[in-house]
Amino acid sequence: MKTGLRLFFVVALCVLFVQGALAGAPLKGIDVKLGKNPGGGCAARTTDSGGRANFGVWPKGNYTLSLVPAAAPKAGVTKTAAPANSKFHVMIQGATGGKIEREVDASANAAARVAPVQFSLGGSEELVVVVTAAE
């Protein structure tokens, strides 16, 4: 009986550690698109191995940020990006008023863009977007 109880606790701890290790992991290959409001598209970046997309410094104004989840890999193609049915966490650094964080669920419609996030830039800080796996 004691051995079974110990085994249960070991398994439970392993599950908690694995879940914690996967949550917050950087997502490579997510397309991040910056748009000017009003105006349209300005720039696009793809997240690197650290889940970061650096847009540099942009002029003061209102902007939108859209995300396009990585598509499922084609037959015979290895892709290291997050699957299209992912849930992820987006952090926008450099926005007026401080950092913006959002949880994004791309599993509802993997082929479409996720609703854009609207924010303002002051024209003096780098715009950096970090995309990680949601908890």
The pTM of the full predicted model, rounded to 2 decimals, is: 0.69
pLDDT the model gives residue 130? 97
Compute mean pLDDT per 10 residues along the chain, 135 residues long, and list them: 59 44 78 85 92 95 85 49 65 95 73 74 95 89
pLDDT the model gives residue 31? 92
pLDDT the model gives residue 49? 96
pLDDT the model gives residue 109? 53
In the chain, the N- to C-terminal Cα span, in Å, equals 34
Domain boundaries, the chain: 2-133
Q: For 23-134, where are the alpha helices, taking DSSP H only? A: none
pLDDT the model gives residue 78? 45
Is-contact 102 89, C-beta < 8 A? yes
pLDDT the model gives residue 37? 75
